[in-house]
Amino acid sequence: MSAPLAKLERIPASVASAADYEPLARKRMTEAAWAWLAGGAADELTLRENIAAFQRWKLRTRLLRDLSGGNTRLELFGRRFDSPILLAPVAYQKLAHPEGEMATALAASANGAGMVVSTQASVSLEDIARAATAPLWFQLYVQPDRDFTLALVRRAEAAGYGAIVVTADAPVSGPRNREQRAGFTVPPSIEAVNLRGMKVTAMQGEGRDGALLLGGPLLSAAPTWRDLEWLRAQTRLPLLLKGVMTAEDATQAVAAGVDGLIVSNHGGRALDTQPATIDMLPEIAAAVACRVPLLLDGGIRRGTDVFKALALGATAALVGRAYMFGLAAAGAVGVSHVLRLMRAELEIAMALTGCANLQTIASSCVRKGTP
Instruction: Please identify every residue annotated as catalytic.
Output: 266
Closest by CA to 136, choosing from 115, 111, 156, 154, is 115
Instruction: Name every residue whose Cβ is closer than 8 Å to that of residue 212 and which is 6 or more positions away in sequence.
Output: 206
CA distance 339 to 323: 7
Alpha helices by DSSP H, listed for 146-195, are: 146-159, 177-182
φ and ψ of 275, to 5 deg? -70, 165
Cα torsion 88, 261, 267, 144: sign: positive
CA distance 243 to 141: 12
Instruction: Name every residue whose Cβ is closer than 8 Å to that of residue 103 and which is 6 or more positions away in sequence.
Output: 93, 97, 327, 331, 332, 335
CA distance 259 to 239: 5
* Strands of the chain, DSSP E: 57-59, 74-76, 79-81, 85-87, 115-117, 136-140, 164-167, 239-244, 260-263, 294-297, 316-319, 366-368
DSSP letter, residue 127? H
